Amino acid sequence: MKKIISLLIILYCFGYTVKAEADTKVFELVTPANLMVDKSLYNKIEFIDSRSFNGYLGFVQTSIFNYQTPVVEETSLEKQLKNVFQQITTQNAQKRTLLFQLRRLYFSEITKSASETGYCHIRYNLYEKKDNRYYFISMLDTLVTVKAIDVTSKLLNKASNTIVSQIANSLTQEANPNQSYSMVDVLNINYFEKGNLKLYGIHQLKDGLYKDFKSFANQTPKEVAIEPYFEDSLLVSFKATDIKTNKQIKFKTDEVYAIVINGQAYVSNYKCYVPIFKKDGEYQFINKGTIRNSTFFHTVGIPNPNKKFNFGKYLTTPMYLEKNRIADEPIIMTVDHLSGEFIPTPENASFYYYFK
């Protein structure tokens, strides 16, 4: 017993030391070697941050204890972006102005068995600024994924390379002369994008089964008759019958994105279907807290007396739980209008790293 207690004390002290040394992880944009755009159409870049949450850039896992460590920008992203832009353009660049609108940049990592998976959600728009109008050039909307035993460094590097290389590719691309916006329009670009989706323009959703977000956004359901089964007003299962053949079809929960019954939509969330509602032009639902993570690192509440470490106040220990864990408080989620991804609202952004 004494040996076990001694071992636990050693592990605690070691973990405490590691945590104290790595309270945050810095993300930096790095210019790849030999990357140069000789005939850029633009010689100046401006920056707008349109993220709904910009307190930090998500979380990665550090040390052998896989501490959830916030990712931060030590140098502002605006300054980093302008430095990179200067490095990849030459004196041959035309005297035109590029606008970079950052809409999402968020890191997360999930541990499964002996490997980790890292994610970085990136979304930004590029415009040409001309005569107080902004002409659309391109948009990058992607999920960077890295799988490895230790993914953090690879994930940060890949995210940087993805952003910088896409900017470089766009420097020789002409803007669309038929797609221009005012600054107010740019700041509200979501409304223009939603205007192209039936989901946001109709008054009542079409009944049926939707296997993916694309069909849901376009309101093109699969032609099946739905027989729902509710428990305490929660849709827990259903029977689907092909209207043409009258044969029953079985669907797994992960094969369904949404179901609409009598105009009410339910999105698939783990082993049940959660009702969604429309608020301020967004589709939202109350997630009861299902955390999709096979290993949850639980805070056991050992205080750090050194106050200079803002994030290093607690020691965490791995607790192998069920595939999904129920959080203490419900979380309001928003359905992203471009990807269909479920994203916590800004006030719940600290929960984001639990979700892929």
In this structure, what DSSP letter does residue 87 have? H
Q: Which of 44-48, 182-186, 336-340 has the lowest mean pLDDT?
A: 336-340
pTM: 0.78
pLDDT band, very low/low/confident/very high, at 59 (cuts 50, 70, 90) = confident
- Give me the pLDDT at residue 234, please: 77
| Contact criterion met (CB below 8 Å) for 119 and 108 | yes
| Contact criterion met (CB below 8 Å) for 125 and 103 | yes
Q: Return the domain boundaries, the chain.
A: 20-187, 198-289+327-354
Q: Residue 333 burial by CB count (10 A; 0-12/13-18/19+): exposed, middle or buried? A: buried
Sign, CA dihedral 280-286-289-291, equals: negative
Phi, psi of 354 (to 5 degrees): -75, -20
Q: Which of 71-85, 104-118, 217-231, 283-297 has the lowest mean pLDDT?
A: 283-297
Which of the four CATH numbers 3.30.160, 2.40.30, 3.30.70, 3.40.720 does domain 20-187 have?
3.30.160
- Give me the pLDDT at residue 317, please: 36
Q: What is the pLDDT of residues 136-170, one digit of tens each?
A: 999 999 999 999 888 899 999 999 999 999 999 99
Q: What is the pLDDT of residues 256-281, one digit of tens each?
A: 999 999 999 999 887 778 899 999 88
Task: Give the pLDDT mean for 51-79.
Answer: 85
